[in-house]
Amino acid sequence: MSGKHCKASVTNVKYSIYRPAGNDTAFVYGLEYTQEQRKKINDLIMAKHPNVEQVGFIELNHKPELQMAGGEFCGNATRSAASIYLNGKSGDLQMFVNSKDLINAGVDKEGKAWCEIPLYHGDDVIIEKEPGIFVVKMNGMVTVVVQDDKAKKYLDDRDNLKSWGMNFIHKYHLEYSEAVGVMFCEIVKGVIKINPIVWVKAIKTLFYETACGSGTTATCMVEAFLKKQSVKIDILQPSGLIITADIIYEEGSFKKATILGNVETDGKTYTIDLEREESMTTRKIKAITPDKVRDFVRAYKVFCNPPYCEAWTDTMIVEEYIELTKYGHVYGYYIGEECVGTVTFRTMLLKDGHPVHYENPQKIAYLADLTVLQEYRGKGIGTELMKYALKVMKEEGYERVYMKTLEVGKSMSYGIAVKLGFKLLEGVNSIDKMSRLQEEREEEDLKIYLDREL
């Protein structure tokens, strides 16, 4: 890889501050920032506005999308962003949040903003760790709910509530989660009030929040779980305002969760200066992490172009990314901050009727995809990516690798694979049914298979 040359630059970052149920949230205009830059912007804004508890990134001239500085899911930020995209007017939309969740959100006729909460559907959604203390899992957030009887002794020592919250996070080994909330509950005039302590791993923030949408949801999920029925409950926030959670619980499982509440803003646009170094020549192959999944989406869309012309949506590509990272790896080739190609592999697929058979499938890697953006082809990038993947496979103990591709002469990856020692598996092929972009038609592709020893 080539050396690094940088030039210093100053970017004028614009943002506004919104208050969903009193939970001050800054929204930066622009989605192009790296994770490191988002962290810097987060810290600069919080230093300038000590009341701000979280920072999100949006782009108004863009399909609705929200990226949180720490990659955590935030219900209050999501419903506020919906209000921003709708200009405060009633309506519904779908928003891509943190490059992985497509969330329904909107503003009702009374001007209150709402959003659905992405639910986790495993068998361990709610676990009672000890009487009156529950751990609730949601996508992008884990919450400890300490019910009022148990919470009283901690609330009597409110000055140390953040320390008590971190004690629970460590006690239940939750510190590796993206974000963790601890809700200390109390009853005020017959209404449940939460006292939220929220920790975000990526940006290392710990707040006693003025309001918490995810914590509100988790608290109400516990109520539905104990009552074994759907509930709709007004939850009092430390700000003195209400967030309403509507939990649909049927046949022993959670079907849907929605939060609703007021969103306010001072109508001002603020600015800060971000000093950054822009890489001019750095080239690097590195894992594409969840906060960079948009890089994978962009690169993967080469399959929407000839000769493939496949009908891949952003959501479908994100689902492919999740599946690949669950059982394997996704790497990107970066020139500066731009991802110009990807390579992915995973442990051998075990499916009925699979045309390839090996004695020890757990020792076999499957090279899933190789992509290079059209304008960067012919520069050896695809070869570098495949070599890198083969090196990692060998280091991880795989003994052989196989791949499938279009018929000879129809794909970039075939020529690279042969150059790197792959051999055609004679007589082994499969027919894949593919949806095409043109005329939304479905066609059949003949796929051939190659393999090599590692």
Q: How much is the mean pLDDT over the chain?
A: 87
pLDDT at 401: 95
Residues present in the chain in total:
454
406-428 average pLDDT score = 76
* 1: pLDDT strictly greater than 90: no
For residues 88 and 111, give the distance between their C-alpha atoms in angstroms, rounded to a whole number: 7
pLDDT at 239: 95
More confident call, 327 vs 443: 327
Q: Cβ–Cβ contacts within 10 Å for residue 271, how many?
A: 10
* 432: pLDDT strictly greater than 50: yes
* 4: pLDDT strictly greater than 50: no
29-52 average pLDDT score = 89
Nearest to 168 by CA among 139, 195, 193: 195
For residues 182 and 175, give the distance between their C-alpha atoms in angstroms, rounded to a whole number: 12
Q: Cβ–Cβ contacts within 10 Å for residue 175, how many?
A: 11
- How far from chain centre, in Å, is Cα 450? 33
pLDDT at 311: 73
**pLDDT band at residue 26, thresholds of 50, 70 and 90?**
very high
**pLDDT band at residue 437, thresholds of 50, 70 and 90?**
very low
- Find the helix or strand (DSSP H, E) in which 42 lies: helix 35-48
Q: φ, ψ for residue 74 (rounded to 5)?
A: -130, 110
Bridge pairing between strands 25-29 and 54-58? parallel
For residues 166 and 5, give the distance between their C-alpha atoms in angstroms, rounded to a whole number: 41
Share of the chain above pLDDT 90, in %: 61
**pLDDT band at residue 427, thresholds of 50, 70 and 90?**
confident
Share of the chain above pLDDT 70, in %: 89
Q: Give per-residue pLDDT as tens, 43-95.
A: 999 999 999 999 999 998 878 889 899 878 899 999 999 999 999 999 999 98
* 116: pLDDT strictly greater than 70: yes
Cα torsion 401, 407, 410, 411 to 10°: value is: -10
379-405 average pLDDT score = 92
* 383: pLDDT strictly greater than 50: yes
331-358 average pLDDT score = 84
pLDDT at 351: 60
Instruction: Give this prediction's pTM.
Output: 0.62
